Amino acid sequence: MTSGHRITVEQGSEHVRVVRDGQLLAESRRPLVLRETGCPVRYYLPPEDVRTERLTRSETHTHCPFKGDADYWSVPGADDLVWAYPDPKPAVAQIRDHFCFYDTEVV
């Protein structure tokens, strides 16, 4: 990590869900909570808690120097709403294949 930049990943117990246009896309009581310097708290949800059949894989890929390469998924009306790191950097290995959404509601 560069000086002053930190990432922590902890097992959370928050009840989080993602609803888009009235459709439940994900609901979990066991999110991974990722805190990163300069970024909002993000919830990474286990794939079993995500309605993956409602997601369409996107052509978008991004690179984060701290987390690795991300793949993206879309839903109708919301491109690249969801991302995951199939092979994250060792420092954040626990987020592997967990899904993160832009609009996650803590219930």
Query: Distance between CA atoms of 107 and 91, rounded to whole angstroms?
Result: 29
Nearest 5°: CA angle at 80, between 64 and 19? 120
Which is it for the CA torsion 40, 70, 62, 88, positive or negative?
A: positive
For 46-58, write each residue's pLDDT tens digit.
999 999 999 999 9
Residues near 3 by beta carbon (within 8 Å), at least 6 away in sequence: none
pTM of the model: 0.93
| 30, two tokens | 């066991």
Q: Using 50, 70 and 90 to split pLDDT, how confident is the model at 99?
A: very high
Q: What is the pLDDT of residues 61-95, one digit of tens each?
A: 999 999 999 999 999 999 999 999 999 999 999 99
Give me the domains of the chain, ranges plus CATH numbers. 7-102 (2.170.150.40)
